[in-house]
Protein backbone atom coordinates (compact mmCIF):
# COMPACT_ATOMS: atom_id res chain seq x y z
CA UNK A 1 0.00 0.00 0.00
CA UNK A 2 1.58 3.23 -1.22
CA UNK A 3 0.12 6.54 0.04
CA UNK A 4 0.91 10.07 -1.16
CA UNK A 5 0.16 13.34 0.60
CA UNK A 6 0.00 16.15 -1.93
CA UNK A 7 0.51 19.46 -0.14
CA UNK A 8 2.48 17.79 2.65
CA UNK A 9 4.17 21.02 3.79
CA UNK A 10 0.88 22.91 4.30
CA UNK A 11 -1.26 23.29 7.42
CA UNK A 12 -3.74 20.51 6.54
CA UNK A 13 -1.00 18.31 5.06
CA UNK A 14 0.91 18.37 8.34
CA UNK A 15 -2.25 17.39 10.24
CA UNK A 16 -2.86 14.55 7.75
CA UNK A 17 0.58 13.20 8.63
CA UNK A 18 -0.27 13.38 12.31
CA UNK A 19 -3.63 11.65 11.81
CA UNK A 20 -2.11 8.86 9.69
CA UNK A 21 0.43 8.21 12.44
CA UNK A 22 -2.11 8.35 15.27
CA UNK A 23 -4.47 5.95 13.50
CA UNK A 24 -1.60 3.70 12.40
CA UNK A 25 -2.82 3.72 8.81
CA UNK A 26 -1.72 0.54 7.00
CA UNK A 27 0.90 1.40 4.39
CA UNK A 28 4.20 0.18 3.02
CA UNK A 29 5.40 3.48 1.60
CA UNK A 30 4.58 7.15 2.17
CA UNK A 31 5.27 9.78 -0.48
CA UNK A 32 5.34 13.40 0.65
CA UNK A 33 4.59 15.72 -2.25
CA UNK A 34 4.72 19.51 -2.57
CA UNK A 35 5.46 22.34 -4.99
CA UNK A 36 8.91 22.70 -6.56
CA UNK A 37 10.11 25.19 -3.93
CA UNK A 38 9.67 22.54 -1.21
CA UNK A 39 11.21 19.62 -3.09
CA UNK A 40 14.21 18.22 -1.20
CA UNK A 41 12.97 19.26 2.24
CA UNK A 42 12.78 16.56 4.89
CA UNK A 43 9.68 15.88 6.97
CA UNK A 44 9.59 13.33 9.77
CA UNK A 45 6.99 10.55 9.95
CA UNK A 46 7.22 8.07 12.82
CA UNK A 47 10.62 9.56 13.68
CA UNK A 48 12.02 8.83 10.22
CA UNK A 49 12.90 11.55 7.67
CA UNK A 50 11.12 11.50 4.30
CA UNK A 51 12.33 13.69 1.45
CA UNK A 52 9.67 15.81 -0.25
CA UNK A 53 9.22 15.09 -3.97
CA UNK A 54 7.49 16.91 -6.82
CA UNK A 55 4.12 16.15 -8.41
CA UNK A 56 5.42 14.57 -11.63
CA UNK A 57 7.71 12.25 -9.67
CA UNK A 58 4.79 11.24 -7.44
CA UNK A 59 2.52 10.41 -10.41
CA UNK A 60 5.26 8.22 -11.88
CA UNK A 61 5.47 6.26 -8.62
CA UNK A 62 1.75 5.36 -8.95
CA UNK A 63 0.58 5.52 -5.33
CA UNK A 64 -2.58 3.57 -4.46
CA UNK A 65 -4.14 6.59 -2.75
CA UNK A 66 -3.24 10.29 -2.92
CA UNK A 67 -4.54 12.60 -0.21
CA UNK A 68 -4.70 16.08 -1.76
CA UNK A 69 -4.55 19.34 0.17
CA UNK A 70 -2.81 21.66 -2.25
CA UNK A 71 -5.52 24.05 -3.43
CA UNK A 72 -8.11 23.97 -6.20
CA UNK A 73 -5.93 24.84 -9.19
CA UNK A 74 -3.34 22.17 -8.31
CA UNK A 75 -6.11 19.64 -7.86
CA UNK A 76 -7.80 20.48 -11.16
CA UNK A 77 -4.51 20.02 -12.99
CA UNK A 78 -3.00 17.04 -11.17
CA UNK A 79 -5.83 14.91 -9.72
CA UNK A 80 -6.79 13.63 -13.21
CA UNK A 81 -3.12 12.76 -13.90
CA UNK A 82 -2.94 10.68 -10.72
CA UNK A 83 -6.30 9.09 -11.54
CA UNK A 84 -5.07 8.14 -15.03
CA UNK A 85 -2.09 6.43 -13.40
CA UNK A 86 -4.52 4.30 -11.36
CA UNK A 87 -4.33 6.30 -8.13
CA UNK A 88 -7.48 7.02 -6.12
CA UNK A 89 -7.44 10.72 -5.22
CA UNK A 90 -9.19 12.09 -2.12
CA UNK A 91 -9.27 15.84 -2.58
CA UNK A 92 -9.61 18.47 0.12
CA UNK A 93 -10.14 21.48 -2.15
CA UNK A 94 -13.44 22.76 -3.54
CA UNK A 95 -12.39 21.78 -7.10
CA UNK A 96 -14.48 18.60 -7.46
CA UNK A 97 -17.16 18.92 -4.76
CA UNK A 98 -20.03 19.97 -6.97
CA UNK A 99 -18.96 17.91 -9.99
CA UNK A 100 -21.95 15.69 -10.79
CA UNK A 101 -19.64 12.74 -11.51
CA UNK A 102 -17.72 12.98 -8.21
CA UNK A 103 -18.85 11.72 -4.79
CA UNK A 104 -18.80 14.18 -1.88
CA UNK A 105 -18.16 12.03 1.15
CA UNK A 106 -18.49 12.14 4.92
CA UNK A 107 -17.79 8.47 5.78
CA UNK A 108 -20.31 8.20 8.64
CA UNK A 109 -23.06 9.43 6.29
CA UNK A 110 -22.48 8.26 2.73
CA UNK A 111 -19.28 6.21 2.29
CA UNK A 112 -21.40 3.30 1.04
CA UNK A 113 -21.81 5.21 -2.26
CA UNK A 114 -18.13 4.61 -3.06
CA UNK A 115 -17.00 2.07 -5.65
CA UNK A 116 -13.71 1.06 -7.28
CA UNK A 117 -14.63 3.29 -10.22
CA UNK A 118 -14.40 6.44 -8.07
CA UNK A 119 -10.87 7.65 -8.80
CA UNK A 120 -11.42 11.25 -7.62
CA UNK A 121 -13.37 11.62 -4.37
CA UNK A 122 -14.20 15.02 -2.91
CA UNK A 123 -13.81 15.91 0.76
CA UNK A 124 -16.44 18.48 1.85
CA UNK A 125 -15.77 21.92 3.27
CA UNK A 126 -14.84 21.98 6.97
CA UNK A 127 -17.90 23.94 8.10
CA UNK A 128 -20.19 21.66 6.08
CA UNK A 129 -18.75 18.44 7.53
CA UNK A 130 -19.42 19.32 11.16
CA UNK A 131 -22.93 20.57 10.41
CA UNK A 132 -24.06 17.55 8.37
CA UNK A 133 -22.65 15.18 10.99
CA UNK A 134 -25.34 16.51 13.33
CA UNK A 135 -28.02 17.04 10.68
CA UNK A 136 -27.89 13.61 8.98
CA UNK A 137 -29.51 11.50 11.74
CA UNK A 138 -32.09 14.22 12.41
CA UNK A 139 -32.99 14.51 8.72
CA UNK A 140 -33.49 10.77 8.52
CA UNK A 141 -35.99 10.82 11.37
CA UNK A 142 -37.73 14.21 11.18
CA UNK A 143 -37.10 15.43 7.57
CA UNK A 144 -35.39 18.83 7.44
CA UNK A 145 -37.21 21.67 5.68
CA UNK A 146 -34.87 24.57 6.36
CA UNK A 147 -31.50 25.32 7.98
CA UNK A 148 -30.26 28.76 9.11
CA UNK A 149 -26.59 28.69 10.04
CA UNK A 150 -24.15 31.33 11.29
CA UNK A 151 -20.54 30.20 11.51
CA UNK A 152 -17.77 31.46 13.81
CA UNK A 153 -14.67 30.24 12.03
CA UNK A 154 -11.08 30.12 13.24
CA UNK A 155 -8.20 31.71 11.38
CA UNK A 156 -6.60 28.30 10.78
CA UNK A 157 -9.30 27.77 8.15
CA UNK A 158 -7.61 30.48 6.07
CA UNK A 159 -4.10 29.06 6.48
CA UNK A 160 -0.68 29.69 7.97
CA UNK A 161 -0.58 33.39 7.05
CA UNK A 162 -3.83 34.05 8.90
CA UNK A 163 -2.59 32.25 12.03
CA UNK A 164 0.58 34.38 11.86
CA UNK A 165 -1.49 37.56 11.46
CA UNK A 166 -3.47 36.77 14.61
CA UNK A 167 -0.33 35.86 16.58
CA UNK A 168 1.45 39.04 15.39
CA UNK A 169 -1.49 41.24 16.36
CA UNK A 170 -1.75 39.66 19.82
CA UNK A 171 1.99 40.25 20.27
CA UNK A 172 1.78 43.82 18.93
CA UNK A 173 3.96 43.03 15.90
CA UNK A 174 3.29 44.51 12.47
CA UNK A 175 3.38 41.83 9.79
CA UNK A 176 1.83 40.44 6.65
CA UNK A 177 -1.99 40.62 6.55
CA UNK A 178 -4.06 37.64 5.41
CA UNK A 179 -7.28 39.64 5.90
CA UNK A 180 -8.25 43.17 4.79
CA UNK A 181 -8.68 44.12 8.48
CA UNK A 182 -7.15 43.23 11.85
CA UNK A 183 -8.56 39.95 13.22
CA UNK A 184 -7.49 40.23 16.89
CA UNK A 185 -10.32 41.72 18.99
CA UNK A 186 -12.48 41.65 15.87
CA UNK A 187 -15.02 39.58 13.91
CA UNK A 188 -14.97 39.74 10.11
CA UNK A 189 -18.21 38.70 8.33
CA UNK A 190 -16.26 37.67 5.24
CA UNK A 191 -15.03 34.10 4.58
CA UNK A 192 -13.85 33.47 0.99
CA UNK A 193 -14.85 35.75 -1.89
CA UNK A 194 -18.25 37.40 -2.44
CA UNK A 195 -20.53 36.12 -5.18
CA UNK A 196 -22.98 38.29 -7.17
CA UNK A 197 -25.79 37.39 -4.76
CA UNK A 198 -23.95 39.05 -1.86
CA UNK A 199 -23.18 35.68 -0.27
CA UNK A 200 -19.60 34.43 0.01
CA UNK A 201 -18.39 31.19 -1.55
CA UNK A 202 -18.01 29.76 1.96
CA UNK A 203 -21.67 30.48 2.69
CA UNK A 204 -22.81 28.90 -0.57
CA UNK A 205 -20.68 25.80 0.11
CA UNK A 206 -22.84 25.21 3.19
CA UNK A 207 -25.93 25.40 0.98
CA UNK A 208 -24.84 23.29 -1.98
CA UNK A 209 -22.72 20.71 -0.18
CA UNK A 210 -25.35 20.01 2.49
CA UNK A 211 -27.93 19.23 -0.18
CA UNK A 212 -25.51 16.96 -2.06
CA UNK A 213 -24.26 15.02 1.00
CA UNK A 214 -27.79 14.51 2.39
CA UNK A 215 -29.00 13.77 -1.15
CA UNK A 216 -31.95 16.16 -0.88
CA UNK A 217 -32.17 19.37 -2.91
CA UNK A 218 -35.42 20.32 -1.16
CA UNK A 219 -33.53 21.27 2.02
CA UNK A 220 -33.42 25.08 2.13
CA UNK A 221 -30.17 26.40 3.64
CA UNK A 222 -29.09 29.98 4.29
CA UNK A 223 -25.75 30.89 5.84
CA UNK A 224 -23.64 33.71 7.24
CA UNK A 225 -19.95 32.92 7.72
CA UNK A 226 -17.84 34.96 10.15
CA UNK A 227 -14.11 34.83 10.88
CA UNK A 228 -13.25 35.20 14.59
CA UNK A 229 -9.91 35.46 16.46
CA UNK A 230 -9.58 31.83 17.52
CA UNK A 231 -6.57 29.82 16.36
CA UNK A 232 -8.38 26.51 15.79
CA UNK A 233 -11.89 25.08 15.76
CA UNK A 234 -15.04 26.26 13.97
CA UNK A 235 -18.32 26.95 15.79
CA UNK A 236 -21.80 27.13 14.30
CA UNK A 237 -25.17 28.36 15.49
CA UNK A 238 -27.64 26.17 13.63
CA UNK A 239 -31.42 26.56 13.48
CA UNK A 240 -33.28 23.63 11.91
CA UNK A 241 -36.94 23.48 10.91
CA UNK A 242 -38.36 19.96 10.47
CA UNK A 243 -41.47 18.66 8.75
CA UNK A 244 -42.25 16.53 11.80
CA UNK A 245 -42.31 17.36 15.48
CA UNK A 246 -39.74 15.99 17.95
CA UNK A 247 -38.93 15.72 21.62
CA UNK A 248 -35.67 17.15 22.94
CA UNK A 249 -35.01 13.86 24.75
CA UNK A 250 -35.18 11.98 21.45
CA UNK A 251 -32.96 14.57 19.72
CA UNK A 252 -30.27 14.23 22.40
CA UNK A 253 -30.51 10.42 22.33
CA UNK A 254 -30.27 10.30 18.53
CA UNK A 255 -27.24 12.60 18.45
CA UNK A 256 -25.45 10.82 21.31
CA UNK A 257 -25.89 7.49 19.47
CA UNK A 258 -24.41 8.93 16.24
CA UNK A 259 -20.85 7.80 15.49
CA UNK A 260 -18.45 10.74 15.64
CA UNK A 261 -20.87 13.05 17.49
CA UNK A 262 -20.52 13.94 21.18
CA UNK A 263 -23.35 15.70 23.00
CA UNK A 264 -22.13 18.30 25.53
CA UNK A 265 -25.35 19.84 26.77
CA UNK A 266 -25.86 20.58 30.44
CA UNK A 267 -26.46 24.26 31.07
CA UNK A 268 -26.90 23.59 34.82
CA UNK A 269 -23.13 23.19 35.06
CA UNK A 270 -22.20 25.34 32.02
CA UNK A 271 -21.38 22.36 29.80
CA UNK A 272 -21.44 23.22 26.10
CA UNK A 273 -19.04 22.85 23.16
CA UNK A 274 -16.18 25.33 22.74
CA UNK A 275 -13.33 25.40 20.21
CA UNK A 276 -10.66 25.30 22.93
CA UNK A 277 -11.94 21.87 24.01
CA UNK A 278 -12.53 20.56 20.47
CA UNK A 279 -8.93 21.36 19.54
CA UNK A 280 -6.98 18.23 18.56
CA UNK A 281 -10.06 15.98 18.68
CA UNK A 282 -11.81 14.17 15.84
CA UNK A 283 -15.39 14.33 17.13
CA UNK A 284 -18.13 16.85 16.38
CA UNK A 285 -19.50 18.38 19.57
CA UNK A 286 -23.15 19.44 19.87
CA UNK A 287 -24.76 21.46 22.66
CA UNK A 288 -27.19 24.28 23.51
CA UNK A 289 -29.89 21.95 22.15
CA UNK A 290 -33.22 23.70 22.60
CA UNK A 291 -36.55 24.16 20.93
CA UNK A 292 -37.02 27.29 18.81
CA UNK A 293 -39.90 28.97 20.64
CA UNK A 294 -40.70 31.22 17.68
CA UNK A 295 -41.40 28.48 15.14
CA UNK A 296 -43.16 25.08 15.21
CA UNK A 297 -41.01 21.93 14.70
CA UNK A 298 -37.80 23.98 14.95
CA UNK A 299 -34.59 23.42 16.90
CA UNK A 300 -31.47 25.39 17.84
CA UNK A 301 -28.04 23.76 18.24
CA UNK A 302 -24.44 24.88 18.76
CA UNK A 303 -21.96 22.72 16.82
CA UNK A 304 -18.16 22.82 17.27
CA UNK A 305 -15.34 20.83 15.68
CA UNK A 306 -11.62 21.02 14.96
CA UNK A 307 -11.67 22.29 11.37
CA UNK A 308 -8.21 20.91 10.54
CA UNK A 309 -9.07 17.42 11.80
CA UNK A 310 -12.66 16.21 11.21
CA UNK A 311 -13.15 19.28 9.02
CA UNK A 312 -10.26 18.29 6.74
CA UNK A 313 -7.44 15.81 7.52
CA UNK A 314 -9.31 13.23 9.60
CA UNK A 315 -12.27 13.03 7.23
CA UNK A 316 -9.85 12.49 4.33
CA UNK A 317 -8.01 9.71 6.17
CA UNK A 318 -11.32 8.11 7.18
CA UNK A 319 -12.31 7.94 3.50
CA UNK A 320 -8.97 6.26 2.74
CA UNK A 321 -9.53 3.80 5.61
CA UNK A 322 -12.94 2.92 4.19
CA UNK A 323 -11.47 2.33 0.73
CA UNK A 324 -8.77 0.02 2.13
CA UNK A 325 -11.15 -1.87 4.46
CA UNK A 326 -13.59 -2.51 1.60
CA UNK A 327 -10.98 -3.41 -1.06
CA UNK A 328 -11.89 -0.43 -3.22
CA UNK A 329 -8.25 0.41 -4.13
List the catalytic residue out of 126, 139, 190, 191.
Answer: 126
Mean pLDDT of 122-139: 98
Which CATH number fits the domain that encloses residue 97? 3.40.50.720
Pair (83, 32) in one structural domain: yes
User: How do residues 76-121 score in pLDDT, each as one tens digit?
Assistant: 999 999 999 999 999 999 999 999 999 999 999 999 999 999 999 9
139 is known as an active-site residue = no
Pair (176, 208) in one structural domain: yes
Pair (64, 158) in one structural domain: no
Which CATH number fits the domain that encloses residue 302? 3.30.360.10
| Residue 299: predicted pLDDT | 98
Pair (99, 151) in one structural domain: no
List the catalytic residue out of 139, 190, 191, 234.
Answer: 234
Pair (92, 137) in one structural domain: no
Pair (175, 261) in one structural domain: yes
Pair (204, 73) in one structural domain: no
Pair (303, 316) in one structural domain: no
Pair (58, 174) in one structural domain: no
Looking at the 3D structure of the chain, how many domains does it have? 2
Average pLDDT of every residue of the chain: 97
Pair (8, 133) in one structural domain: no
Pair (200, 285) in one structural domain: yes
| Residue 303: predicted pLDDT | 98
User: Model pTM?
Assistant: 0.96
Domain limits at 265? 127-307
Strands of the 220-227 sheet, one edge to the other: 220-227, 144-153, 234-242, 298-305, 284-291, 261-263
User: How do residues 2-15 score in pLDDT, each as one tens digit?
Assistant: 999 999 999 999 99
Residues in contact with 282: Cβ distance below 8 Å, sequence separation at least 6, in sequence order? 19, 260, 306, 309, 310, 314
Pair (270, 208) in one structural domain: yes
| Residue 150: predicted pLDDT | 98
User: How do residues 26-70 score in pLDDT, each as one tens digit?
Assistant: 999 999 999 889 999 999 999 999 999 999 999 999 999 999 999
User: How do residues 148-205 score in pLDDT, each as one tens digit?
Assistant: 999 999 999 999 999 999 999 999 999 999 999 999 999 999 999 999 999 999 999 9
234 is known as an active-site residue = yes
Amino acid sequence: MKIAIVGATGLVGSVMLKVLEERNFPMDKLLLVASERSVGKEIYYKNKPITVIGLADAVNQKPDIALFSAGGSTSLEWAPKFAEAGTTVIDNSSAWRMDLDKKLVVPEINAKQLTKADKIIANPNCSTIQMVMALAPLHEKYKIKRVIVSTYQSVSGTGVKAVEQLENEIAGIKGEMAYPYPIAKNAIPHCDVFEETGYTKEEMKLVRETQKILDDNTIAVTATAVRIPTAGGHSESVNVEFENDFSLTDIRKLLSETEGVVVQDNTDVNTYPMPMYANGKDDVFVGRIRRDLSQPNALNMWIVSDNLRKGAATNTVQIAEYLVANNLV
